[in-house]
């Protein structure tokens, strides 16, 4: 029994990330994503992969986060069950499949530097759009052309870095949906997208033993952070936290764009 226990401990130790620096970053990153899934400052979800990408590759960060996101989706589905806009989902989900397909087909040509640059650029555009209100103030309706573009973009950015939120919000926010309807529609969209991503992620080796074991270790944070997010929505000043969240996203976007740009310039020089 002692030998077997020692073998299990050795297996777990050898098949998961053990660097304390990683967990010092990953734990708050996952908590922030969970808070967003719980409805508190949805923009916080953008911080997941960018934060983890500061200590590991963005590709591995995405692989570790996917199972945790799926677990979060289960709790979010239960919370917002039966609340969604079917017209938008009929437009967005097929388009997202196209975006995921493009992400999979181009994965061999998109380096970690490209991913950092893409994530940083999406995050930057998201914060600038929030600050300067590029979307405008006119209320819009579901639209196949706009929904197809933003849905495909959301599918692609979700595939490369779980950053599908900004493109989806670019499309949905101008419609001025009721808050619960907006969140419920987003929950179903990303539940479907994340489940579909399992197939290409597995094919690309992003769901290997190391990533899955690390995901399992971090998974208890999922329900705790979601329920905390739902509680915080009722207790704290969300507007103040929004300003902090977007400022943090802006800073991280610049860091990732710098890292990605420097790496690409260095590779072209070599």
Split at pLDDT 50, 70, 90, the class of 254 is: confident
Tell me how far CA of residue 128 lies from CA of 98, 135, 232, 251, in angstroms.
27, 11, 26, 12
DSSP-assigned letter for residue 43: G
Query: Please, are residues 252 and 105 in contact by the beta-carbon 8 Å criterion?
Result: no
Residue 43 CB-density burial (10 A; 0-12 exposed, 13-18 middle, 19+ buried): buried
Which range has the worst mean pLDDT, 44-58, 147-161, 232-246? 232-246
The domain tally of the chain equals: 1
**Domain residues for 101?**
2-269
Three-state secondary structure call for residue 205: coil
| Euclidean distance between CA atoms 85 and 266, whole angstroms | 46
Split at pLDDT 50, 70, 90, the class of 6 is: very low
Whose tokens are 């677990």? That residue is 71
pLDDT value for 228? 85
The pLDDT tens digits of the residues spanning 122-173 come to: 778 878 887 887 655 567 789 999 999 999 989 998 898 787 887 887 788 7
Q: What pTM was estimated for this model as a whole?
A: 0.79
Contacts with 264 (C-beta within 8 Å, 6 or more apart), sequence order: 111, 113, 114, 117
pLDDT value for 5? 52
The pLDDT tens digits of the residues spanning 74-120 come to: 888 888 888 899 999 999 999 999 999 999 999 888 776 787 787 77
């Amino acid at each position: 029994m002692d030998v077997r226990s020692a073998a299990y401990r050795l297996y777990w130790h050898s098949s998961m990330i053990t660097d304390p620096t990683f967990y010092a970053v990953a734990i708050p990153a996952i908590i922030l994503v969970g808070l967003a899934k719980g409805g508190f400052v949805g923009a916080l979800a953008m911080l997941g992969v960018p934060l983890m990408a500061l200590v590991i590759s963005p590709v591995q960060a995405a692989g570790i986060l996917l199972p945790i996101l799926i677990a979060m989706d289960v709790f979010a589905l239960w919370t917002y069950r039966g609340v969604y806009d079917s017209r938008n989902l009929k437009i967005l989900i097929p388009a997202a499949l196209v975006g995921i397909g493009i992400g999979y087909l181009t994965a061999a040509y998109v380096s970690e530097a490209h991913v950092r640059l893409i994530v940083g650029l999406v995050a930057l555009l998201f914060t600038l759009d929030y600050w300067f209100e590029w979307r405008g103030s006119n209320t819009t309706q579901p639209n196949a052309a706009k929904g197809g573009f933003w849905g495909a973009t959301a599918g692609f950015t979700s595939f490369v870095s779980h950053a599908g939120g900004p493109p989806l919000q670019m499309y949905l926010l101008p419609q001025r949906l009721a808050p619960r309807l907006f969140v419920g529609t987003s929950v179903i969209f990303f539940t479907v997208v994340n489940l579909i991503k399992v197939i290409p992620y597995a094919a690309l080796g992003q769901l290997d033993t190391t990533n899955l074991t690390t995901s399992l270790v971090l998974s208890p944070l999922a329900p705790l952070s979601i329920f905390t997010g739902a509680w915080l929505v009722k207790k704290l000043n969300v507007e103040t936290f929004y300003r902090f969240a977007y400022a943090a996203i802006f800073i991280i976007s610049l860091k990732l764009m710098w890292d990605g740009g420097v790496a690409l310039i260095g590779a072209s020089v070599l």
